[in-house]
Structure 1
């Protein structure tokens, strides 16, 4: 039993004992009626007293008719004893009975004191460790980042050069403010790091702390929010008071959208705890009192939900976008994460970077870690290019499920389905190259065709979108052509879902439908929690909705017709890919090209002579959702 539980049970035991003593400590005088001493003497003289009890300060008598009377005495009165002896009244002497009233008072107060102490103790325990008690609700939970947390510098951050330059200027301002002040420049009050998850926003903030050499306080946006109204605002005040004592310093608020969401959404009460916290944060950042030397750095991946007052100059003077890295950035990030990994001679970070478009920094860290784990599992001393390729497939498509039992019929159906995706992807214009096709179950998919772009893409043309629709519908068309309309399976469910989403976006958002025109009909898909969707009335008429559905259906049907034409005209190539998948289960893009030339794939020997125990590598990052064309049975794919 730990100390906390022991203290709780001890308090309960004291409470029970105190109540018992208080109840049992009362004397018979408590139930007796008060009387004058002369009245007691008169009753004794008249023979109406059956017995008596003499105390230090009182006498209690019981009359012959069972009445109890009590009167005060001055000590053990010998005169009274004499009267009782003379009249033949039996009596007893109790020297402590006079103190019973005082003991009763003490023991009646003791339970109350125990209850108050017990409640106070529990409130301290509910507040957790770190010395925070019941009276410290409003204290800031910001932690001062020190060297023991691991010093991070800009050398540890790669792939976000522009963001580093913006933050480097803040670091220089903290180190040498006169360099900017002599030209009239003022130190920025805040910098907001904006970008998707895993791009290194928090890592950048830690690098600023490592470079600046000033106190660095870190806190999460959710740490301000509490069930008690006013606590969040109090914590904001305390945080800035703490920062003022350490100025110049940096405060970093991670996930600021937890406390900085837009006010006045029209839902619920306006005077809630979160809004009070945000109001106090706005005042501290740019109010009547200047917080000189305090720079606020915040990070979020939801800038669209932040309150406009939070984003104006004077509060967050700079909004720094931290996006996914390009091919050069990915190569630099890979080199950072490969520092402590023993690599084989065939590992080329540039080749890996070219094959990982759209990867964030966290994805690349996870890729390197998965490759190291694969090499360790295979008993190798170094990590080779083969491990990086296998790790990339695992991250993109999910882990293989070779233990899953598939019947020959399902295997054949999956092969023709995926071959349909592959042949369409290889023939339609402006399509990304096929990276790999497999009928080995991966993740939640029974099979998959994955495409990877040759270069980083920032936009998509209409011809690329229509080609994408044909590729998505290729699996469904393949089942229909090979096995007949009545034998088409539900394996194309996710293909149809993705195609519908793409076609609807083409019509309602990007203006690719002639009958609809370049009008945005998807603008009222606002977030309900902001009150946008509830406060907007639908501006799409019934006739327009019907036209939108017709255009969406037309685009998908056109994609199916194109896929059917390709598979009909190139049936021999389609069949070659399907038979190759049945034989080899997994084919790379190069192997598919060799099959179409009539050559059998040559599989390299993956055994490594340089085997042995591999170094331990820590797990980094999280697994990425599967990415690629939908395959048979793929219940939740991501479009490539």
Structure 2
């Protein structure tokens, strides 16, 4: 039988106590059904020898009739009672004791004070039980953060200086951000030195960057380096169903920080309350905007001697209210970008410290093969690799484990149960071979890492290229070669099977997006020259114009579409010519993929070299 829990448990307990109360009181149960009789009636029954026993407590007498006797309270009420209760008159009865003895009645007695505590216990039990239930309910509300006395209190969590062990040694890369933050650390350590020369501490520091780049870790490291109290809270913690609660929580949080100054307040995901005012459905009077207004007032109301710094993190700085970003509030804005190759190497070293990794693992190669990975992604990469090693009952992580983990993160989980017939597998092999041969042939494309026809995630196959170094600028030649590589799959389908399949859907979308950016945004069109028309993407925020904004006429739009089509057509034709030129290597690679399902970039280059030598 399942044990009752929660509300049902308390209902059962309440019913049990009420049952006990009924048993112990005069209404029945332990003392039986009792008749309240007049004292004169009691004396009459006593003289008639109908009384078996009495219990005297103060002026109250409880008694029991003899079994052979039945007492009816009234003629209309025929309910018989074995027990009775009566009260001695206030003037007393001196002959009562003699009368009881003459009729051989069993007599027991107790003091009035003893009975008082017994009655008090019995009658106060339900009230006591209700108080316990109320207290438990109150505690439960408090623990869930919904207690009535907790609504307006700050939700910020405090980390005392001794408990925060994070320092800049735990943060790899981000050298520029560290340099900016060291000034704040020095100020918090020795504020008088800066105040003597008239320097003012920045009131706010905004950390901006993609998710997983270590913004929260960086803020925690600042508090650890400075050795000051660290208050952490997320933007959503200010919001509540009651109006005005968010603003009150802001006041409470700043009050606590001032009491413990010097201190740091860190607000994660500040865009949840710092969004531009007037852009919401509720106009300028909703709860979120009141909270933002209070935050702005607290930032502006700081005094230099308070030594409280507000740090905030967001990955959407474009939607923040301009009032937050002006000097005097978030004076210092620090961009935390995705790590470079060298930074990725350092991050991998930190996360590898608590892992058992084989000596053959090359962290530098892993850093080079993970462009676009954030610090959180790299941590997840090594964790997934350790799970692969454990699954295969290895004591150390090897390179294959990391390769499999990277493929899982980048392409998705392998769909082992998927059955592909021979015809579809052949089309898929030629499709991926088309990408690979074009990538190996063009001079400006990224080096080929491997080709696979193993279904992963939503993709049926994958041609993976890994750049040799970080790219921050993309020239026109690289983009044209990139589009030709993407078109290699559709070109292979047309060249070998004289058809087109739905497998090229994602390829066509990528080419269309890339070619449009070249024409509209980057000025890489021969027809329009060095002109950029700006993006025509929709504005996604409520309360603002949601129509497409175009800075060109409809006639120009038609010409742009024609130019985009021309660039896409040229990329397709280049891919067809390359596959026709390297037909032998193309066929051999497709056959290898059908046989092995995965071919390395080195093997593809060997096939290409063999094909060129034969020419």
TM-score, length-scaled by structure 1: 0.73
Residue aligned with 1:298, SS? strand
Query: How large is the RMSD of aligned CA atoms in angstroms?
Result: 3.4
The counterpart of 2:368, out of the listed 354, 357, 360, is 354
1:560 is displaced (CA, Å) by 0.8
The 2-side partners of 1:138 and 1:283 are apart by 18
The 2-side partners of 1:375 and 1:257 are apart by 40
Aligned match of 1:320? 334
The counterpart of 2:509, out of the listed 479, 486, 497, is 497
The 1-side partners of 2:16 and 2:289 are apart by 45
Equivalent runs, 1:573-584 vs 2, <5 Å? 573-584=585-596
The 2-side partners of 1:506 and 1:274 are apart by 40
- Mark the CA change 1:537 to 1:11 in structure 2 (over 3 Å): closer, same or farther: farther
Quick check: 2:205–2:332 contact (8 Å CA) kept in 1?
yes
- Mark the CA change 1:408 to 1:146 in structure 2 (over 3 Å): closer, same or farther: farther
Is residue 2:571 matched to residue 1:533?
no
The 2-side partners of 1:12 and 1:513 are apart by 83
Aligned match of 1:60? none
- Mark the CA change 1:13 to 1:138 in structure 2 (over 3 Å): closer, same or farther: farther
1:524 is displaced (CA, Å) by 5.4
1:389 is displaced (CA, Å) by 2.6
The 2-side partners of 1:283 and 1:12 are apart by 54
Is residue 2:215 matched to residue 1:205?
no
Aligned match of 2:255? 241
Quick check: 2:450–2:601 contact (8 Å CA) kept in 1?
yes
Quick check: 1:472–1:495 contact (8 Å CA) kept in 2?
yes
- Mark the CA change 1:117 to 1:516 in structure 2 (over 3 Å): closer, same or farther: farther
Quick check: 2:275–2:321 contact (8 Å CA) kept in 1?
yes
1:323 is displaced (CA, Å) by 0.7
- Mark the CA change 1:408 to 1:299 in structure 2 (over 3 Å): closer, same or farther: same
TM-score, length-scaled by structure 2: 0.76
Aligned match of 2:383? 369
Aligned match of 1:143? 157
Is residue 2:284 matched to residue 1:270?
yes
Is residue 2:407 matched to residue 1:393?
yes
Instruction: After superposition, give the CA deviation of every residue in 1:5-32 in whole Å (9 maximum; x if it has no partner).
Output: 55577789999xxxxxxxxxxxxxxxxx
1:541 is displaced (CA, Å) by 2.9
1:511 is displaced (CA, Å) by 2.1
Which ranges in structure 2 are unaligned for 5 or more consecutive residues? 19-37, 39-74, 78-85, 88-128
Equivalent runs, 1:173-252 vs 2, <5 Å? 173-252=187-266
Residue aligned with 1:413, SS? helix
Residue aligned with 1:533, SS? coil
Instruction: After superposition, give the CA deviation of every residue in 1:50-88 in whole Å (9 maximum; x if it has no partner).
Output: xxxx9xxxxxxxxxxxxxxxxxxxxxxxxxxxxxxxxxx
The counterpart of 2:491, out of the listed 477, 491, 498, is 477
1:289 is displaced (CA, Å) by 6.3
- When the two structures are aligned, how many residues end up with a matched partner? 514
Equivalent runs, 1:111-150 vs 2, <5 Å? 125-126=140-141, 128-129=143-144, 133-146=147-160
Residue aligned with 2:267, SS? strand
The 1-side partners of 2:395 and 2:520 are apart by 54
Quick check: 2:279–2:541 contact (8 Å CA) kept in 1?
no
Quick check: 2:239–2:288 contact (8 Å CA) kept in 1?
yes
Aligned match of 1:545? 557
Instruction: After superposition, give the CA deviation of every residue in 1:480-527 in whole Å (9 maximum; x if it has no partner).
Output: 110113xx2111011111111112222222222344451324255323
Quick check: 1:478–1:567 contact (8 Å CA) kept in 2?
yes
- Mark the CA change 1:199 to 1:387 in structure 2 (over 3 Å): closer, same or farther: same
Quick check: 2:533–2:552 contact (8 Å CA) kept in 1?
no
- Mark the CA change 1:379 to 1:283 in structure 2 (over 3 Å): closer, same or farther: same
Instruction: After superposition, give the CA deviation of every residue in 1:143-186 in whole Å (9 maximum; x if it has no partner).
Output: 11247976212111101111122222212211112332232211
The 2-side partners of 1:181 and 1:148 are apart by 26
Quick check: 1:415–1:579 contact (8 Å CA) kept in 2?
yes
1:269 is displaced (CA, Å) by 2.1
Aligned match of 1:456? 470
Quick check: 1:190–1:318 contact (8 Å CA) kept in 2?
yes
- Mark the CA change 1:231 to 1:290 in structure 2 (over 3 Å): closer, same or farther: farther
Higher RCO structure, 1 or 2 (CA under 8 Å, sep 6+): 1
- Mark the CA change 1:333 to 1:578 in structure 2 (over 3 Å): closer, same or farther: same
Quick check: 1:142–1:239 contact (8 Å CA) kept in 2?
yes
Quick check: 1:11–1:118 contact (8 Å CA) kept in 2?
no
Which ranges in structure 1 are unaligned for 5 or more consecutive residues? 16-53, 55-89, 97-113, 600-640
Residue aligned with 2:546, SS? helix
The 1-side partners of 2:14 and 2:322 are apart by 52
Quick check: 1:430–1:464 contact (8 Å CA) kept in 2?
yes
Aligned match of 1:435? 449
The 2-side partners of 1:426 and 1:305 are apart by 42
Is residue 2:578 matched to residue 1:566?
yes
- Mark the CA change 1:348 to 1:531 in structure 2 (over 3 Å): closer, same or farther: same
1:590 is displaced (CA, Å) by 1.0
Instruction: After superposition, give the CA deviation of every residue in 1:177-203 in whole Å (9 maximum; x if it has no partner).
Output: 233223221122111111101111111
Is residue 2:429 matched to residue 1:415?
yes
The 1-side partners of 2:281 and 2:528 are apart by 34
1:207 is displaced (CA, Å) by 1.3
Quick check: 2:538–2:549 contact (8 Å CA) kept in 1?
no
1:291 is displaced (CA, Å) by 7.4
